[in-house]
Amino acid sequence: MKAQLRPTAGAEGDPNGSVPEKHRGEGKASVLLVDDDGAVRRAFGRILHDVGYTVTPAADGAAALSLLEDARFDVIVSDLSMPNLGGMDLLRAVRSRDLDVPVILVTGVPEIDSAMKAVEYGALRYLAKPVDAETLRDAVDYATRVRALGALKREAMEIVGRNAQEAADRAGLEATFAKTLDTLWIAFQPIISRPESRIYGYEALMRSRESALPHPGAVLDAAERLERVTEVGRVVRRRVAETLTQHPQAVDIFVNLHPQDLRDPELYDSRAPLSSHAARIVLEITERANIEGLHDLAERVARLRMMGYRLAVDDLGAGYAGLSSFVRLEPDVVKIDMSLIRDLHRDSTRARVVKSILELCREMNINVVAEGIECAEEAAVLDEMGTPLLQGYYFGRPAEGFTLVPEELLRRTKPSF
């Protein structure tokens, strides 16, 4: 069946057609040509074959998809309305597996509606029949160059060591980012007090349903590039406030701040959504970020405290060697980074450092959260050291709403080794 669908263009093409000089030598690229009309397949096939393209015809979208299963094409030219999977459905199916291959849609009945859909699903060109040879060649030549550029971009990204999103063009990133903000939601991860056998609070963690920016790091990287970090912070705080209004339980909520959020006047505005909940909020400021540049930090921190907020140094142990953020924030809470917690039961060096941090914080009257606990053994060592607050996948993953922790995990354990 497949073999029958794969005659080369030569079989249908006419080697004697006249070819404008400018197209010569641009060929070699492979074109998948999809049309239910055999005459169109032959005509288009010949035009493209004559300028050097390798053309594989397919009689409808379904046939094209089955070809795509085991062959790669540089360009797809497809008719829009065909029995057995039309061009738009083919385009969608192609996009779900290959974001790059240029698709040219051809239609006998151009409509604004389908043209718009074509753009939305990422068609490169939308051509109206009858398509003359020159237009077809130009479109496919252009598509080939776009394809080549895509390959070069990927190569460049590998050299520069960036991920695909970071190298995306600004317009694309803006669109992705807008969708991210629209679909942003907050996951809550429990923080438990084992000495008190209860859930102490939850850390609010931003999540997005936009798959192109799958984790908070990617969202913030994009926000930084677009200089829209402040917007992200505002959306997060608004969403957290909404949840708090819906769940008036007496639990504290830990909210991550980007250092730039500290410059946002909205944070200090008593009418801002989160302000009325300040007494329940611990604002986390990561050790990883540099807050040296904030000359009026002390004043800002004082204002936040007056509003009722508490402050936490996040990711302690993962950031700068210096203690500047610690000294300048005078935090109410310290969160020990998960890199220090990992394998605590097997690593006496880590254990000694964590124990000393706990002792010092106790002396300074600072509450401590150990983060990223993934197993019972890590939790047991931390219990033994008298860690006030624990957080990690072992107790609960970040999830929608305030999920409960199994009763037996709320109790202190004795190390059994």
Q: Where are the beta strands (DSSP E) in 16-167?
A: 30-34, 54-58, 75-79, 103-107, 125-128
Report the distance separating Cα 153 and Cα 159, nearest Å. Answer: 10
Site for ligand G contains 287 (CB under 6 A): no
Using the minimum distance from each CB to Mn ion, give the nearer residue, 284 or 378. Answer: 284
Q: Pick from 131, 338, 379, 380 the residue near ligand G by CB under 6 A.
A: 338
Size of the site for ligand G (CB under 6 A): 15
- The answer to whether residue 392 forms part of the interface with ligand G (CB under 6 A) is yes
Check binding of 339 to ligand G (CB under 6 A). no
389 in contact with ligand G (CB under 6 A): no
Give the one entry of ligand G, Mn ion, none that residue 189 binds, where binding means its C-beta sits below a cut-off of 5 to 8 angstroms depending on kind. ligand G
Pairing of strands 75-79, 103-107: parallel
Scanning residues 65 to 124, which ones bind ligand G (CB under 6 A)? none
Cα 16 from Cα 154, distance rounded (Å): 38
Residue 2 CB partners (closer than 8 Å, separation 6+): 66, 67
Which letter does DSSP use for residue 257 in this model? E
Task: Name the residue among 364, 345, 357, 359 with its Cα closest to residue 317.
Answer: 357
Contact with ligand G (CB under 6 A) among 314, 331, 357, 380: 314
Q: What angle do CA 290, 293, 297 make, to 5 degrees?
A: 95
Q: Which residue minimizes CB distance to ligand G?
A: 392
Q: Mark residues 395-414: x for contact with ligand G by CB under 6 A, - for none.
A: ---x----------------
Q: Which stretch binds ligand G (CB under 6 A): 19-27, 129-137, 296-304, 369-377?
A: 369-377
Binding mask 31-70 for ligand G (x = CB under 6 A): ----------------------------------------
Q: Which is nearer to Mn ion, 50 or 314 (CB)?
A: 314
Choosing from 60, 74, 261, 314, the residue that interacts with Mn ion (CB under 5 A) is 314
Which residue carries 């669109």 as its tokens?
Answer: 175
Q: Where in 246-285 is the site for Mn ion (CB under 5 A)?
A: 256, 284
Binding at 210: pick from Mn ion, ligand G, none (beta carbon under 5-8 Å per type): none
Structure-token match 């971009």, residue found: 153
Q: How far apart are CA 358 and CA 193, in angstroms?
A: 15
315 binding ligand G? (CB under 6 A): yes
Q: Please state the closest distance from residue 173 (CB atom) to Mn ion, in A.
A: 25
Least separation in angstroms between CB 162 and ligand G: 21
Q: What angle do CA 222, 227, 231 make, to 5 degrees?
A: 85
| Cα distances (Å, whole numbers) of residue 404 to 198, 335, 396 | 10, 21, 8
Cite the beta strand spans of 252-321 per DSSP E. Answer: 252-257, 281-286, 310-316
Who's near 41: CB < 8 A, 6+ residues apart? 12, 33, 35, 57, 59
Q: Looking up tokens 């909020």, which residue turns up? A: 281
The binding site for Mn ion (CB under 5 A) comprises 256, 284, 314
The binding site for ligand G (CB under 6 A) comprises 189, 205, 216, 256, 286, 314-315, 338, 371-374, 392-393, 398
